[in-house]
Amino acid sequence: MNTTATESNPPTRESSLDRQDRQTAQRKPLSKDATHIIAIHAKSKSSTLSHDTPQMPSFLGFRNLMVLALVVMNLRLVVENFLKYGVLICIKCHDYRKQDLILSAILYAIVPCHLFAALSIEVAAARHIRGVLGFRKKNEDVKVEETSGQHDYTWTFIALAHGFNATLCLMITSCAVYYGIHHPMMGTISELHAIIVWLKICSYAFTNRDLRQAMLKSEDCTAIPELYSSCPYPKNLTIGNLCYFWWAPTLVYQPVYPRTPHIRWGFVAKRLAELACLSIFIWLTSAQYAAPTLRNSFDKIASMDIGSIIERLMKLSIISSIIWLAGFFAVFQSTLNALAEVMRFGDREFYTDWWNSPSVGVYWRSWNKPVYNFMKRHIFLPLIARGWNPQVAAIMVFVFSGILHEALVGIPTHNILGIAFAGMVIQIPLILGTAPLEKANSVNGKTIGNMVFWTSFCLVGQPIGALMYFFAWQAKYGSVSKAAL
Amino acid sequence: MNTTATESNPPTRESSLDRQDRQTAQRKPLSKDATHIIAIHAKSKSSTLSHDTPQMPSFLGFRNLMVLALVVMNLRLVVENFLKYGVLICIKCHDYRKQDLILSAILYAIVPCHLFAALSIEVAAARHIRGVLGFRKKNEDVKVEETSGQHDYTWTFIALAHGFNATLCLMITSCAVYYGIHHPMMGTISELHAIIVWLKICSYAFTNRDLRQAMLKSEDCTAIPELYSSCPYPKNLTIGNLCYFWWAPTLVYQPVYPRTPHIRWGFVAKRLAELACLSIFIWLTSAQYAAPTLRNSFDKIASMDIGSIIERLMKLSIISSIIWLAGFFAVFQSTLNALAEVMRFGDREFYTDWWNSPSVGVYWRSWNKPVYNFMKRHIFLPLIARGWNPQVAAIMVFVFSGILHEALVGIPTHNILGIAFAGMVIQIPLILGTAPLEKANSVNGKTIGNMVFWTSFCLVGQPIGALMYFFAWQAKYGSVSKAAL
């Protein structure tokens, strides 16, 4: 437009109204009386938003407007919330029973002991195998099958010992939390600690068993990864090696892990600072925004007013998503990276870019790598190796994970409702349903999948889960609890 | 991770948990006892969100979450609004006085007459100039300067005639609307119609004057664009030519416009359908969402409660921006394109991608091309040609446009508050302030400029203006009016 409209412009100086003209105005000067006859409409053009426009315009500006709108809308809710409730944050009024604290401390101390029990079991097994191999050397003529055949009972006994030890670790904590600890936060932490150690014990036992088997069936030694060669089987059964596994940010045991050359303390400090800020942020948002929303939602649910319930769910979904994202970053980026740095643990892939997931399946494979790795190495692949159908194996994984989720949420809130379990199992149809979208080459296909994932997870699953647990908690204790947030 | 983790996978079938493995699993089959010793952590990796990650991940997923959040937040407000107010839309209760309708009809009929008055003035001028040229031919020795010098009075008289005609057109309507039409919607339409015709008359008069001058001073004929050659000066003074200008979607008169070969009626139908839908959308949103918000805001302003006023402004800014965007599309894309198609008017550039404006100045140059073209051709460039400072010329343009805005909003609401005027004049410092951002090569610079533009325009200027006018209207009539929305 301007280029054509200013065919006969004077060379003007900087002008805020007509800067473009300046560039195209290096022509013959404009006569005083000829300005009003310039051909503004010199040639046919189509509107920017019409389909017959030569090239699609950029819509980056609308993205900026979107960001601005989100900021403004949330700021408005902050102001509204303040005008409605004032300041709800209060440190003193956060009461807990002394018994809870003591019990949590005891649990925190005894749970790791089971790891060392597992070590002693393994040491016994190693001593036994040395005997077996010595026996073999003496009479080469005896078939290996027979010798190892005779000792099946020993291996069964060791397996049983591990099973007993691991189960005990989980049982003690669960009972203590369910019956002894009222405060849901302390309960959740204790239960989570127990589950983590339990998974570590299982991994430790399984891995050492296979290392043992590989040692017996020497032809299988090829299966042992190169990485482990620096610390072959019985050598890894030391307290130091176990302690490293105990603190390493992983759930799968390896005699040897990739390590970083040194600890960058600056890196650690930054991650801890992030953790501190995010924890405060999460605490404030839960107390100031999530708690009141949940409280009003409670009445609405009680009154079964559909319209209001939907309205509440929507309001809750935004705040819960924000809190969840902050929590994710705090745990998987800040905490685990800080821990890994201190432990000089090399593999920091605790998650990949799950937020771009084109399907629910990709999300579950990428948001929580430590658990995903455990499930894959100790449940999924073994089942596959035994010739199971991958679909069924995947279902097993989600059922198992559902049980863990239920324990983690149900036990501390003293309400085994089965919602967390159902929430996990319901993922299977979702995964199968959205799987085709993964292979969609079109950007739209991926976007739709990504939208489905966000909707199902952040905007439906979470708020409903939170509401239901809060509802159950209210029904049982009639008081607000952080756990429900 | 997966590639390393599955070095010894069996060739599995389709699996929802472990699709990636399938691709990398065409190796030696996994022995039943070796799965638990796979080296999951085979090499050092950094977290996706860490700074030491090899390449930055895509955050497209978060854009999708943003869209989803916006949709959910607004849907929630819709539900909330419904629960609070129920349905506010009501056709019957929309009352207007018969007198308003009659007066508007009369104004709509008489306003265009001034265009034809302008034509007759021009015809007279053309007849006169033919006399002048005939006189010249007779005595070539007489200097052109002298002859044209003698007739200055005629040209002044013609200019005065045009001035009187144009002013009359605007004055009659303004007075009628200000004193006679109560309904702000009808008033606005009548006033807008008058202003458009007034601008067309001015452009018509100025253009023909310069064409005349060019004819007199034959050495200036070079200034006449090629485009006009098909219809040289006096030939264009026909009723047909004027009627085309009258209906053409432009404010600048040209004897000849670029034309399209034929009318695509399908295109027209689509544009009209858009217009219908958007009009209904705007009406519903104004009645259901903007009106109540404005009404409560009114009390808050009266009570001068800062917190609530800010909260109201934020809520209003979102709804007003949505309505404004819908209105923009309805007028500049749908209506003007439909009209242009019917008129076979070639130049459809009624706007360019103003939403990406890196500064306020770029926005004003690109969002409303018809007015921008008029200002440029008949105010800005002539002043420049007379050696004015472009800054001052630009200020003149905004002052003039401010007066028109004030007339357009103040007269129909019977409140000449000067807010629209101030709103336009305030743009000058904003333009000067954000001008440096236009030249910013960095994406950030442009984004900041774009944010400043959106904030100043959609999220501050509009809601405050709407609120103030609504406030004034309330103070005067104590009833809600669509004009304030």
Chain B nearest CA to A413, separation (Å) = 29
Please tell me the pTM assigned to this model: 0.78
Q: What is the pLDDT of residue A483?
A: 39
What CA dihedral angle connects B195, B198, B203 and B209, to 10 degrees? Answer: -160
What's phi and psi for B351, nearest 5 deg? -165, 160
Does B214 reach chain A within 8 Å, measured CB to CB?
yes
Candidate from B35, B44, B373 with C-beta closest to A258: B44
What's phi and psi for B466, nearest 5 deg? -55, -45
Q: What is the pLDDT of residue B297?
A: 76
| Residue-wise burial string across A345-363, b where 16 or more C-beta atoms lie within 10 A, e elsewhere | bbbbbbbbbbbbbbbbbbb
Report CB contact under 8 Å: A207, B37. Answer: yes
What CA dihedral angle connects A137, A139, A142 and A143, to 10 degrees? Answer: 10
Residue A434 banded pLDDT, cuts 50, 70, 90: confident
Q: What is the pLDDT of residue A238?
A: 93
Under DSSP, the state recorded for A262 is S
Chain A nearest CA to B96, separation (Å) = 36
Q: Which residue has the tokens 């299977």?
A: A428
Residue A142 banded pLDDT, cuts 50, 70, 90: low
Residues 433-462 of A with CB under 8 A from B: 435, 438, 447, 450-451, 454-455, 458-459
Q: What is the pLDDT of residue A32?
A: 63
Report CB contact under 8 Å: A397, B42. Answer: no
The pair of three-digit structure tokens given for residue A109, joined into one six-digit string: 């101390």
List all residues 6 or more positions away from A60 whose beta carbon is below 8 Å from its beta carbon. Answer: B356, B447, B450
Q: Decide if A49 contacts B332 (C-beta within 8 A).
A: no
Closest CA to A81 of A285, A250, A262, A220: A285
Q: What percent of chain B has pLDDT over 70?
A: 86
What's phi and psi for A97, nearest 5 deg? -85, 145
Q: How many residues does chain B have?
A: 485
Q: Cite the DSSP H helix spans in B345-440.
A: 360-366, 369-375, 381-385, 390-410, 419-425, 427-438
Handedness of CA A228, A230, A235, A241 (dihedral sign): negative
Candidate from A17, A220, A397 with C-beta closest to B34: A220
Q: Which residue has the tokens 């176990």?
A: A242
Under DSSP, the state recorded for B259 is B
Q: Decide if B349 contacts A1 (C-beta within 8 A).
A: yes
Candidate from A8, A83, A356 with C-beta closest to B61: A356
Q: Decide if A258 contacts B44 (C-beta within 8 A).
A: yes
The pair of three-digit structure tokens given for residue B8, joined into one six-digit string: 């010894």
The amino acid sitting at B365 is: R
Report CB contact under 8 Å: B361, A62. Answer: no
Which chain B residues are Cβ-neighbours of A13 within 8 angstroms? 389-390
What CA dihedral angle connects B341, B346, B350 and B354, to 10 degrees? Answer: 120
Chain A nearest CA to B199, separation (Å) = 13
Chain B nearest CA to A199, separation (Å) = 13
Closest CA to B254 of B377, B339, B340: B377
| A260 CB burial (10 A radius; 0-12, 13-18, 19+) | middle
Candidate from A64, A357, A380 with C-beta closest to B18: A380
Q: Decide if B446 contacts B419 (C-beta within 8 A).
A: no
Residues 43-62 of B with CB under 8 A from A: 43-50, 57-62
Residue B33 banded pLDDT, cuts 50, 70, 90: low
Q: What average pLDDT does the segment A281-288 reach? A: 90
Q: Decide if A158 contacts A124 (C-beta within 8 A).
A: yes
pLDDT at B20 over 60: no
> Scanning every residue of chain A, which has its alpha carbon at the shortest distance from the alpha carbon of B313?
A76
Residue B256 banded pLDDT, cuts 50, 70, 90: very high
Q: What is the pLDDT of residue B6?
A: 35
CA distances in angstroms from A170 to A192, B5, B93, B453, B472, listed in the order given: 10, 28, 69, 59, 70
Neighbours of A179 (CB within 10 A): 11
| B88-105 pLDDT per residue, tens | 877 777 677 888 999 999
Work out the mean pLDDT of chain A and round it to a whole number.
83
CA distances in angstroms from A30 to A7, A11, A239, B215, B217, listed in the order given: 9, 9, 91, 17, 15
DSSP track, B469-485: HHHHHHHHH-S--GGG-
Report CB contact under 8 Å: B390, A317. Answer: no
Report CB contact under 8 Å: B252, A40. Answer: yes
Which chain B residues are Cβ-neighbours of A353 within 8 angstroms? 48, 57-58, 61
Report CB contact under 8 Å: B227, A60. Answer: no
Q: What is the pLDDT of residue A31?
A: 61
Q: What average pLDDT does the segment B420-440 reach? A: 85
Which chain B residues are Cβ-neighbours of A438 within 8 angstroms? 19
| B333-354 pLDDT per residue, tens | 999 999 999 999 999 999 999 9
Q: What is the pLDDT of residue A481?
A: 42
pLDDT at A25 over 50: no
pLDDT at A484 over 50: no
Q: Which residue has the tokens 């455990």?
A: A374
Chain A nearest CA to B406, separation (Å) = 20
Q: How many residues does chain A have?
A: 485
Query: Which of B27, B36, B311 to mutate: most A Cβ within 10 Å?
Result: B36
pLDDT at B238 over 90: yes
Residues 259-278 of B with CB under 8 A from A: 259-260
Q: Does residue B207 sit in helix, strand or coil? A: helix
The pair of three-digit structure tokens given for residue B361, joined into one six-digit string: 């100045």
Q: What percent of chain A has pLDDT over 90?
A: 38
Q: What is the pLDDT of residue A241?
A: 94
Give counts: helices (H), strands (E), chain B.
Answer: 21, 0
Handedness of CA B408, B414, B420, B425 (dihedral sign): positive
**Angle subtended by helix axes B462-477 and B306-328, to nearest 10:** 110
Does A73 reach chain B within 8 Å, measured CB to CB?
yes
Q: Does residue B251 sit in helix, strand or coil? A: coil
Q: Which positions of B are catalytic?
A: 405
Q: Decide if A21 contacts A2 (C-beta within 8 A).
A: yes
Closest CA to B435 of B445, B421, B425: B445
The amino acid sitting at B218 is: S
Q: What average pLDDT does the segment A62-91 reach? A: 86
List all residues 6 or more positions away from B439 whose beta carbon is below 8 Å from its beta carbon. Answer: none
pLDDT at A29 over 60: no
Does B329 reach chain A within 8 Å, measured CB to CB?
yes
Integer Cα distance of B152 and A417 in angstroms:
97
| A317-372 pLDDT per residue, tens | 888 888 889 999 999 999 999 999 999 999 999 999 999 998 888 999 999 999 99
| A382-414 pLDDT per residue, tens | 999 999 999 899 999 999 999 999 999 889 888
Strand partners of residue B259 = B345
Integer Cα distance of A195 and A197 in angstroms:
6
Q: Does residue B54 sit in helix, strand or coil? A: coil
Q: What is the pLDDT of residue A303?
A: 75
Report CB contact under 8 Å: B365, A252. Answer: no
Q: Predicted ipTM? A: 0.79
pLDDT at A141 over 70: no
Active-site residue, A378 included: no
| A199-213 pLDDT per residue, tens | 999 999 999 998 888
The amino acid sitting at A330 is: A
What's phi and psi for A480, nearest 5 deg? -75, 140
Q: What is the pLDDT of residue B26?
A: 38
| B300-315 pLDDT per residue, tens | 777 777 888 888 888 8
Angle at B237 (CA atoms; ends B231, B241), nearest 5 degrees: 70
The pair of three-digit structure tokens given for residue A348, joined into one six-digit string: 């920091």
Residue A243 banded pLDDT, cuts 50, 70, 90: very high
Residue B472 banded pLDDT, cuts 50, 70, 90: low
Q: How many beta-carbon contacts under 8 Å exist across A and B?
A: 418
Integer Cα distance of B213 and B312 in angstroms:
56
Q: Which of B71-85, B326-340, B464-478 has the highest mean pLDDT?
A: B326-340
Q: How many C-alpha atoms does B30 have within 13 Å on its Cβ side?
A: 30
Residue B152 banded pLDDT, cuts 50, 70, 90: low
